[in-house]
Structure 1
Amino acid sequence: MAAREFTVNFNKPLVLQVGHLGETYQEWVHQPIVSYESPRFFESNFLEFFTRTVWWAVPTIWLPVACYCISMSISNGHTLPQIALMAPFGMFVWTFLEYCFHRFLFHIETKSYWGNTMHYLLHGCHHKHPMDGLRLVIPPAEAALLCVPFWYLFKFLFTPSASPAFFGGGLIGYVLYDVIHYYTHHGQPTKQVPKSFKKYHLNHHFRIQNKGFGITTALWDRVFGTLPQTKAAEKRSG
C-alpha cells in the first residue's frame, strides 16, 4: 500500500502504524489533536506501562539523585561556595543541551518506517497529542539510559571531584525542564512570567513549530536565531 494511501486508525495502537505514513508522516505528526485522551501505543500492556509517566515522578526520582551527586563533591572536599557555583553552571549546561536535543534530535525529519516510528516515540507523539499529560515528561527508564552518556560527558569536561556537582546541577536543570514543560501545557498561570512561558511554548506547538525550541529559557533561541516573531511583528513584515 502506498504511503499516501495509508490512514492511521486511532482505535488501534499507534506506534507500529505511523511508520507506514512514509513521506507524509511529517505533515501528519505536526497537525495536533487537542485532546486530553491518552491514545494507546502498544497492544502489549507491559510495553504500554512504560510509555505513561505522571509528572511528579520526575522530581520524586531525580531530585534525590541530584542531591546525592552534589553531596559526593562536598565529600570530595569542595566547599559550599564552590558548590554554589558548580551546580548552577551544570544547570546552565543543561539549558544548552535541552535546546540542542529539541532542535536537532526531537525535530529531525524522517520518512522511513523505523525513522518515523522512533521519532514518534521520541517526540512526535507529543506534537500529535500535545495535551496528553501521561506522555509529556520523559519516562524514568528512558531518562536513566540518557543519564549514562551525560555522566561520562561531565566526567570528561570537569575534574573527578567536581564532576558530580556539575552533573547534579544538570539533573536539577532537567527536572526544571520537565516540570516547566508540563506546567506550560496543563498549568493555568495568573502571573506574567509563567504566562509568557506558556504562550511561548504553545506558540511552538500551534503556530511556528520550527522555532521556539527553548523550554526553561529562550536564551539559545536568541543566540541561534530561532526566536519566533510575535504576531504583531509578522503583520508588520507582511
Structure 2
Amino acid sequence: MTQETKAEALDASPRLFESDLLDKLSRVHHLTPVIVYAPIILGLIFYSLTLNDPVLVALSLVVGYLGWTLTEYFGHRYLFHTVFPLPFGLGPRFQFLIHGVHHIYPNDPLRLVMPPLLSGPIMLIALAIIRPLFGPNLAWPVLAGFMTGYVIYDCVHYWTHHGQPKSDFGRLVKRLHMLHHFRDAEKGFGVHAIWWDYVFGTAYRKDETPGARAV
C-alpha cells in the first residue's frame, strides 16, 4: 500500500448506519460544538452573574472546567476503550460506534467532534449531577465551565488530526494524541487535558517499549 493510499484510508468516512438519516446525523462539521454551545455558555454565564457574586461565578467556571477534564480522561480511558457485555452481543458494536471507528479512520473530518445527539445527553447528565452538588444558583456557572471544557476538547481533538501546531506545547499535545493512535492505545487518554495522564500513570515515557498499533 502506497503512502497516498494509506492517507486516503485514514481520511475515509465510512457508512455506519443503514438508515440514511442516522448516518447523516453521525457526521458533523467540526465547528458544530462552538456554534451550538457558545451561545448557551454565554447565556449561562450572564444568568449566573444575576444570581451570584462574580468571583464565585469565576471559581465555579473553573470547577466545571476541571470536572470536564476528568470526564474527558476517564470517559476516554474506560468508556471509549472498553467493550461492555451488552445483551445480544452488542458490546463490540457499541464500542465500535462510539470510538473504535475513530481508531480505524482517525482523520475522518466529519467524525472528529461529537454530534449534538451525543453531546446533548452528556450535558443533561452533567446537570443532573451538578445541581444536587452545587445547588440551584451555582449549578449554572459550573455547567457553563463544564460545557466550555467540552468545546475546547472537541476543537483540540479536531486540530490534533488536521492542524499544524506552531508552539512547543501545541506540538506536544498533537504528538501525544498521535502516539495514542499509532503507538499504544492504552496510554495518552487526555486529549487536551494531558496532565491527567501524568497524574494517573498513563503518560508515555521515552524509555518504554512501544505497544501495538491502535486499531
Q: TM-score range by the shorter chain?
A: 0.7 to 0.9
- SS of corresponding position for 2:136: coil
Larger Rg: 1
Q: CA deviation at 1:68?
A: 1.6
Instruction: Give CA deviations for 1:162-187 in whole Å, capped at 9, x if unaligned.
Output: 11000100000000000001100110
Instruction: Give CA deviations for 1:63-114 in whole Å, capped at 9, x if unaligned.
Output: 11112222222122x1222222211221011101111100010000358731
Question: Which stretches in structure 2 are left out of the alignment for 5+ residues?
Answer: 1-6, 210-215
Amino acid in structure 2 at the alignment position of 1:81: V
Distance 1:75 1:136 in 2: 36
Question: Which stretches in structure 1 are left out of the alignment for 5+ residues?
Answer: 1-31
Structure 1 segments (4+ residues) deviating >6 Å:
none
Percent identity, please. 35
- SS of corresponding position for 1:95: helix
Superposition pairs for residues 31-180 of structure 1, below 5 Å?
Answer: 34-76=9-51, 78-109=52-83, 113-180=89-156
Distance 1:114 1:204 in 2: 25
Counterpart in 1 of 2:176?
200
Aligned length: 201
TM-score by length of 2: 0.88
- SS of corresponding position for 1:158: helix
Distance 1:68 1:109 in 2: 38
**Aligned-residue RMSD, C-alpha:** 1.8
- SS of corresponding position for 2:72: helix
Q: CA deviation at 1:37?
A: 1.8
Return the match for 1:189 from 155, 165, 168: 165
TM-score by length of 1: 0.80
Distance 1:101 1:234 in 2: 25
Distance 1:216 1:138 in 2: 15
Distance 2:195 2:189 in 1: 10
Counterpart in 2 of 1:19?
none
Q: CA deviation at 1:125?
A: 0.9
Distance 1:86 1:109 in 2: 34
- SS of corresponding position for 1:234: coil
